[in-house]
Amino acid sequence: MGTLDGKVAIVSGSGRGIGREIAMKLAGAGAQVVVNDLDADPAKETVAAIEAAGGRALSCVGSVTAEGFAERFVQTAVDGFGGLDIIVNNAGYTWDSVIQKMTDEQWDAILDVHLKAPFRILRAAQPVISARVKQARAAGEPVPCRKVVNVSSMAGTGGNAGQANYSSAKAGLLGLTKTLSKEWGRYNVTVNAVAFGFIRTRLTESPAGGGDTIDIEGREIKVGVNPNLLSAMEQMIPLGRAGLPSEAAGAVYLFCIPESDYVSGQTLLCNGGLAL
């Protein structure tokens, strides 16, 4: 018996990186998972990996910022697996610049993906969750504990130079987390956040030391951090290294299991002990 047997989860941005590890972790514990990515191939690959390991998964391809996506994402879980128990808002990227050089487009794009998109997904999920809770109570059945985990960052708890947009969005997500923990307590839903420190992903590592780019909806976004800077950052971390995507997924998993059913409105720092 898996810890999450019978649960249905949606994980945004789960075709690659940390999101993929989260989806695999939840599926490995028995959850049925809706996988999302901007691109079809990574989403299909994650679904195939889950199924190869004996789990169940579906894909919901598209941008979390697109009109109507949130409703489609939630409905994929309901239509495909019959419900919705776990929501992980993970999708995102960075588009950095100092404030005097940051454009409105940069600001809006990052606020949209990291704050507006989670808001829309949670708003779309509310009618589904509310209806299921009412049904259970009308039938005299116990209301299961559902889970929301919002992925934030240490940039949102302490700020980070060159990331006014990202830091603001991730800080706003913490406010949304605390508010929803109060609004949804009556539904027996816990709402928590995990704030990551330095995790090694395609957004931080680049063979060119920061010269690589990724395509985000037609925008070429620079990724990668200079290897010398990465090494200096790791020396500041008490554990002496950056985190792995699997370790980041483990922190999210802690908020999804029954052992955390009485923990809500909290932010867990997953950062190897780094203090700002």
0.85 exceeded by pTM: yes
Structural domain count of the chain: 1
Asked if the structure places residue 218 within a domain, the reply is no
In this structure, what are the phi and psi dihedrals at residue 243, rounded to the nearest 5 degrees?
-85, 160
Nearest Cα to Cα of residue 129 among 105, 108, 142, 147: 147
Q: What angle, rounded to 10 degrees, do the helices at 117-138 and 164-183 form? A: 10
Give the lowest-confidence range in 26-35, 43-52, 222-231. Answer: 222-231
Asked if the structure places residue 72 within a domain, the reply is yes
> What's at 78, amino acid-wise?
V
Band (pLDDT 50/70/90 cuts) for residue 2 is very high
**In angstroms, how far apart are the furthest CA atoms of the chain?**
61
Q: Which residues of 84-106 are buried (b: 16+ CB within 10 A; e: fewer)?
A: bbbbbbbbbbbbbeeeeebeeeb
Between 201 and 10, name the one with better pLDDT. 10
Band (pLDDT 50/70/90 cuts) for residue 227 is confident
Query: Could you give the percent of the chain with pLDDT greater than 70?
Result: 95
Asked if the structure places residue 230 within a domain, the reply is no
Calculate mean pLDDT across residues 117-139. 98
Asked if the structure places residue 102 within a domain, the reply is yes
215/228 Cα distance (integer angstroms): 25
**Residue of 166, 187, 253, 262 marked catalytic:** 166
Band (pLDDT 50/70/90 cuts) for residue 77 is very high
**pLDDT of the residue at 214:** 78
121/115 Cα distance (integer angstroms): 10
Q: Is 93 a catalytic residue?
A: no
**pLDDT of the residue at 223:** 72
Domain residue limits at 84: 8-201+244-270
**pLDDT of the residue at 205:** 65
Asked whether the predicted pLDDT for residue 209 surpasses 50, the reply is no
Task: Give 48-74 pLDDT, tens digit per residue.
Answer: 999 999 999 999 999 999 999 999 999
Task: Give 99-111 pLDDT, tens digit per residue.
Answer: 999 999 999 999 9
Asked if the structure places residue 107 within a domain, the reply is yes
Asked if the structure places residue 228 within a domain, the reply is no
Report how many helices (DSSP H) and strands (DSSP E) the chain contains, helices first.
9, 9
Asked if the structure places residue 266 within a domain, the reply is yes
Asked whether the predicted pLDDT for residue 208 surpasses 50, the reply is no
**pLDDT of the residue at 221:** 77
Task: Give 234-248 pLDDT, tens digit per residue.
Answer: 899 999 999 999 999
Cβ-based neighbours of 115, under 8 Å, separated by 6 or more: 169, 172, 173, 176
* Residue 119: CATH number of its domain: 3.40.50.720
Cβ-based neighbours of 272, under 8 Å, separated by 6 or more: 197, 198, 237, 238, 239, 240, 241, 242, 243
**pLDDT of the residue at 82:** 98
Band (pLDDT 50/70/90 cuts) for residue 220 is confident
Asked if the structure places residue 221 within a domain, the reply is no
**pLDDT of the residue at 225:** 66
